[in-house]
A and B are shown apart, each in its own frame.
Chain A
Amino acid sequence: MCRPKMSQRSFTESAGRVMSKILMKDLASISTRINAEFKQYKAMLMVCTGTGCVAAKGFDVRDALSRAIRERGLQDTFLVVGTGCNGFCAMGPIVVVQPEGIFYQKVSEEDIPEIVAQHLIGGEPVERLMHRDPVSGAINRTMDEIKFFSKQQLIALRNKGLIDPENIDHYIARGGYESIRNVLESVSPDEVIKEILTSAIRGRGGGGFPAGVKWQSAKEAALERKETPYIVCNADEGDPGAFMDRSIIETDPHTVIEGMMIGAYAIGAKEGFVYLRKEYPLALVRLQKAIDDARACGLLGKSIMGSEFEFDIHIHRGAGAFVCGESTALMASMSGQAGEPRAKYVHNVEYGYRDKPTVLNNVETWANIPVIMDKGARWFASIGTGDVTDNPWGGSSGTKVFSLVGDINNTGLVEVPMGVTLRDIIYDIGGGILNGRAFKAVQTGGPSGGCVPAEKLDMPIDFDSLTEAGSMMGSGGMIVMDDRTCMVDIARYFVSFLMDESCGKCTPCREGLFSLYRTLTRICNGEGREGDIEFLEELAKTVNETSLCQLGGTAGNPVLSTIRYFREEYEEHIRNRRCPAGHCKALISYRISEGNCTGCTLCAKQCPVDAIAGEPKKIHVIDQDTCIKCGICYEVCRFDAVEVQ
């Protein structure tokens, strides 16, 4: 039990704002005060300033909006708030008018006067900036009407779009730091661990290891060896196309801090580290500010909130390699050694950072912790699949954030309860396949995940079902692929990524991936041989089962899962020298069908190598020897006259 020691409330300057030390008893009144302040405004204008929207000039939109409001003297009526990512980046920059929830997308500086005049002053929302359902074409006025949002359940991302990540007051107003206050006041460290065990939350970074079990082991090791353990947050996020962790930090950095505080309190750590991917400058700025502010408010450092609890967080910038996200490589990299994995026969919970017991959890895992402590482990465990009452391995509780990309209408970041089906995600939230094409497969779990085919669309997604399907949860990447995707080439693409990212320390991963890549390339080039498929299977299994770390340990998945579900596609390549998806250049040719060609000359003008001959209004012909199979003619022809064979 942690007994608060009363101390004088002191004031510190931070980032130009007076920050006062927050004591346990004051937190609730501070929150009430801030909320009352917010209520004085007629509306709050939430401008997305996540990385995606910023790339689309989100900062300009925010500044223009503030300027316009000030120019009209409305600064006491409307409050402009720059928020973190809403997860709908393809639609950015996004502006949401709260509390109604009116949603504007692809807003530019030029749209601002209209929004101010027509909506804010005139009370008439601007329809042309609203979202349209990609399938029905209907206008969605509010966020709730947009299927992309309405089907989600938010825990880790509960504050997205609703707070200014750079303002600690906003987090507090939404109940932030209430969980740690409550824990410090009335929950013992062991009770916290029990609560996390009961919640059955499994790590969101890839392995799906129950967090509670990890915490308990680290605590036991620390007690036995009389060492002070460490807490580490894995924010390396190296999966191509994944951005859930970046978003969480950019959107709500304090939830990660609060989660780590609770973990530190539970296991007795005094120091924590965030291993942050090098290429995340905005996340770095926001997290650093959040840490500085928390420190200035007495939420980090000694005697936190007036209690005896002591904890601080430091940011460690990543070394820029995918494998550095692997737990042992991460610890090595943090210690200034080469970021290479080591055997995990002795775990980090016993000998981790600086050889001390260390708990490493993913950003999203940490972000869930305050909510679990707030709403209760049973509530959390009731969400999701399986029975986790006695055994966290019995199912998958809570929600998971996925990054939805590929040939899909609504790309973005979504948080859904464990157990929703792929169909829900792809068709409801994702709005279906781009251009109305057919769904072929979805690659989940990052580069070393697997491809799940259409027949599994109704499979409820959780850690175990994905593994069973030959893929994995990984950190939550989802790449949707339509019928024009060649599965052999997809396997080759992921193997090539992994081959480049392999550290090369152990033989099966180093030599095996190279050989898988060579064989797949041969097949794509139409030089496949009988026995190749069996060789790929045999080799991929050995790579999976004998590699030193889980990079190699899962690197066979793209090969194995595509062979499992799309074996005939491999066979077509090898036996008939055909790429059924019409993708592998060596195996296809472009021809112009005499029936459809109108002789519009467009293809001939666009062909980069002048391979198309023909006179206006006459049928065009492709010279196969010159054609480099770039596919441009196929794309540009408006009469479907170019065919792939």
Chain B
Amino acid sequence: MADKIKITIDGKEISVQKGSYLLDAVKKTGVTVPTLCHHKDLTPTGTCRLCLCEVEVRGRRKLVTSCNYPVREEIEVYTNSEPVVNHRKILAEMYLGRWPNVPAIKYVAEMCGITESRFTSNLTDENPQACILCGRCVRACREFALEKIIDFAGRGIKRHLTMPFGEVDPHCIGCTACAFVCPTGAIEIVDDLNHPLDPQMIRDHGMKVNAEMAVLDKDQCRMREVGTANIVDVMDAYDLLPVHNYQFGTHPETWRINSKMLKARYFTQGQADGCWKGCSMACAKTIDDFELKTGPYRGQKVCVDGPEYETAAGAANMGCFDADFLAEFNFYCDTYGIDTISAATTIAFVMESFEAGAITTEHTGGLELHFGATNETLELLHQMADGRGFGVDVGQGIRWLKQKWVKEYGADPDFLHDIGMESKGLETSEYVCKESLAQQAGYGMAIKGPQHDEAWLIFMDMVNNQIPTFEDKAEALHYFPLWRTWFGLMGLCKLCWNDVVPADNYATDEPHKIPEHVDNYFKFFEGMTGIELDESKMLDQSARVYNLQRVMCRMLGYGAREDDHMPYRAMGPVTVKEYESRAERYDKQLKEIIGVDPDGKITEERVGILRRYREDQYEKVMDAVYIRRGWTRNGVPKIERLRELGIDLPELVVIVEKDQE
């Protein structure tokens, strides 16, 4: 809907977005009309009637309230015609008669040229902080907090707000959104539980996020509507959805488990749900009354908490494009206390090994573990939880399985290492990172193994090409892990950093950092502690912990260069089939980037050339990152760096001493 419409406001022509509200256009022309019930981040309801304008549509004039009048055709607007002025005067007089001392009303009355009122009555309320029934709080409670705590009761002149002030409704989450939007100060905040130093600072910045969720989310990530499941559709579209143990990035049957399907047929809450009641993003979703077909609870109707993106993508990774399966897998993983990602990635590895003949039904206890084998997968999951059969082995994870199969079944170790998607013993999370060098390193160099909560750089690197050089990538792999570690340390959720972004984020210097949101977090910190923060102070705070973690890893035998590698499946096509599935792209890289003409070369050769190139690139990026992080070429923090951070404690120095160059 990029349609623009030309309209005239008081004789001035202006072009506006079709469907946008007239008040925005009026403001753009520099005209001020009085408003009371309008708030820029709330759905306009047009109840105070003060923003009245006269509009001429196809020759007919009518009065409309500009705040909620959508411009849909060519119109002429008069913001100050005689009827408008006269009616506004009377409206202002009504307000002044009832609430003579409220500053917001005095201001509006003055704008309308009113000082006296004929509407004084027994209902006249002298309180300067009286509630003027604008309804902003009611809308904020619904739209910001997704609650319905505060509302109007009583008809006509008896209309009033139902939550008695000074008395806290036990269901009120105390988000203070209502008080924030109130134009008169009628809502008093009675308790700031954690005694922050500057609650107003926290509130002001928190409300910005609430407002963005209320206004922008529906056109951005739809977190309230479908939660992280929205990513399934996006990843499939960008060839990034792990399919068949990360061999492929898209699948024709993704629609069976994507957000449209989940929303239409599965999610039952019809509204947003959250980790905690106050969350305005509320991305968690639920399937109610789901009837289980297998396992100990077979036949029972249960409530499934999810599925989220990673769980759905895990199903794709196992080739199980079946939302019933997905819900059941999700439920049992949760119930058994099994992480859905590790389970799915391990089983996907088992399936590929099974299909490749590395293991057979002899080893699986008879389970035909092909991709897409939904029943067998669920059986395997039950076995894992029960400590039965093949489940006992699979439950140990990929690293353990590789060792056993090589040693006991004589499987090909190189193949297993290439396709077993683990690093540092942890299974990889559910994104295909073959075409993003930065993300390969983001996974490989993450302290606790290949999960993406240190860095998710795929779009930045591969789609938007914002970090082209090794230095750029190293900078990203310095900054983002520290930044993400920092808000993790603060106990703050990551989603309100980048799962909604300010409308004008693209126009900032560093859109990938979302500077305005980073600043929100700094202000939360400052509001709580009184300590002012900027990027370098934040990075220092975080780097202390990050380096300490790395040193501890070193102590445990994991924190060095050799541990930071990823299996080749994460970096490029392992098999001929995989190469051929995207031959055009790979051939182009051979020709244009590596400078080798693929013509006349068989696929095996091409796979080899590409592999050598990519592995070399990976080594280079590691070098660059270690330098940026202040670590040795072997990936161990330099003592200088520890000193700089003030953590050159003898216990730590002892551990890293032998690694210094």
Contact = CB atoms under 8 A, between A and B. Distances in A.
A407 B73 CA distance: 50
Given A502-B155, A539-B90, A514 B121 contact: yes
B70 A504 contact: no
Nearest to A551: B156
A546 B121 contact: no
Interface string A500-516: 11111111111111110
A538 interface: yes
Contacts of B95: 507, 511
A506 B47 contact: yes
A515 B94 contact: yes
Interface size class of A (residues with CB under 8 A): 20 to 34
A535 B154 CA distance: 27
A342 B68 CA distance: 10
B350 to A, nearest CB: 44
Contact of B69 (A345, A504, A506, A509): A345
B121 A502 contact: no
Contacts of B87: 542, 545-546
Contacts of B151: 338
Nearest to B160: A504
A25 interface: no
Contacts of B64: 345
A548 B47 contact: yes
B68 A538 contact: no
A539 B64 CA distance: 18
B535 to A, nearest CB: 44
Interface in B642-659: none
Interface in B108-130: 118-119, 121, 123
Contact of B157 (A321, A346, A510): A510
A119 B127 CA distance: 77
Contacts of B94: 507-508, 511-512, 515
Given A507-B94, A548-B47, A501 B121 contact: no
A499 interface: yes
A546 B47 contact: no
A548 B46 contact: yes
B119 A515 contact: yes
A505 B44 CA distance: 13
A518 interface: yes
B52 A510 contact: no
Nearest to B154: A504
A343 interface: yes
Contacts, number: 99
Contacts of B47: 505-507, 548
A306 B154 CA distance: 51
A461 to B, nearest CB: 26
A511 B98 contact: yes
A640 B81 CA distance: 59
A397 B140 CA distance: 48
B40 to A, nearest CB: 18
Contacts of A503: 155-156, 159
Given A343-B65, A535-B118, A514 B83 contact: no
B45 interface: yes
Interface in A506-546: 506-515, 518, 535, 538-539, 542, 545-546
A504 B155 contact: yes
B118 A504 contact: no
B533 to A, nearest CB: 44
Interface in A479-516: 499-515
Scoring B49, B83, B87 by chain A CB atoms within 10 A of each residue's CB, the highest score goes to: B49
A514 B70 contact: no
Contacts of B367: none
B152 interface: yes
A514 B65 contact: no
B284 interface: no
Given A343-B65, A507-B48, A548-B46, A538 B155 contact: no
B172 interface: no
B100 to A, nearest CB: 13
Nearest to B88: A546
A542 B86 CA distance: 8
B215 interface: no
Nearest to A323: B155
A343 B155 contact: no
B157 A513 contact: yes
A499 B157 contact: yes
Contacts of A548: 46-47, 49, 65
B63 interface: yes
B157 A345 contact: no
B431 to A, nearest CB: 34
A515 B50 CA distance: 18
Nearest to A519: B118
Contacts of B158: 504
Interface in B71-115: 83, 86-87, 90-91, 94-95, 97-98
Contacts of B152: 338, 504-505
Interface in B226-265: none
A574 to B, nearest CB: 16
Nearest to B98: A511
Contacts of B49: 506-508, 546-548
Contact of B70 (A346, A506, A508): A346
A270 B561 CA distance: 66
Contacts of A506: 46-49
A514 B123 contact: yes
B91 A507 contact: yes
Contact of B83 (A510, A513, A545, A547): A545
Given A503-B156, A535-B118, 13 more contacts: A343-B45, A343-B65, A345-B64, A503-B155, A503-B159, A507-B91, A509-B156, A510-B156, A510-B159, A511-B98, A515-B97, A515-B121, A542-B87
For the complex of A and B, list the 6 residue pairs with the smallest distance between their C-beta atoms, beginning with the closest.
A504-B159, A502-B156, A511-B94, A514-B157, A542-B90, A504-B156
19 contacts: A342-B45, A343-B65, A345-B69, A499-B156, A500-B156, A504-B133, A505-B47, A506-B47, A508-B49, A508-B90, A510-B133, A511-B119, A515-B94, A518-B121, A535-B118, A545-B63, A545-B83, A546-B49, A547-B49
